[in-house]
Amino acid sequence: MPTVHQNGSSGSRRGRGARVSTTLSEINVVPLIDVMLVLLIIFMVTAPMMQQGLQVNLPQARRADPVNAQPITVTVPPDFRTRRVVQLGSDDVRLEFLQERLRQAIAGRDDKSVYVRGDGAATLQDLFDVTDKLKEAGVDKVAVMSKPREGR
């Protein structure tokens, strides 16, 4: 509630006159809501940009069957020959640790099949190196993924 205070005791002085002071006992939430909405918009815009993945140019095939289950995928990037790193799901794994990581991934699964996504620039020897590690890990089936041929 605003209160009125008099300047001086005699009241004969001219000047400002009565002074009004307010006591603010409530928190103003409007600026807080504005800040929260701005932060929400920033996170909504930046969240899709934070998804990380390995960009792979898949080779094309005329007959590519769609994958229905949640497969385990191993991605062979075009720089595999120099780095010796593949991507197991969304994790980067060095080739020498791939066997152990795959054993852990397929331990509780009935379907012990793995899909290999090789970049078009990766050599056939690179794919065979990875396939050998997959077989050593106990994988039953290894499938090579491709995308449908565009055009025809």
Whether the Cβ atoms of residue 74 and residue 86 lie closer than 8 Å to each other: yes
Mean confidence (pLDDT) of the chain: 79
Give ranges for CATH 3.30.420.270 in the chain: 60-148
pLDDT tens for each residue of 75-124 = 888 888 888 998 888 888 898 888 888 888 888 777 788 888 888 888 88
pLDDT attached to residue 54 = 64
Q: 105 or 2, which is more confident?
A: 105
- pTM of the prediction? 0.53
Q: Domain 60-148 has what CATH class?
A: alpha beta
pLDDT of 67 over the 60 cut: no
29 within 8 A of 117, measured Cβ to Cβ = no
Distance CA 81, CA 122 (A): 8
SS (HEC) of 26-46: CCCCHHHHHHHHHHHHHHHHH
79 or 53, greater pLDDT: 79
Cα 85 to Cα 119: distance, rounded to the nearest angstrom? 13
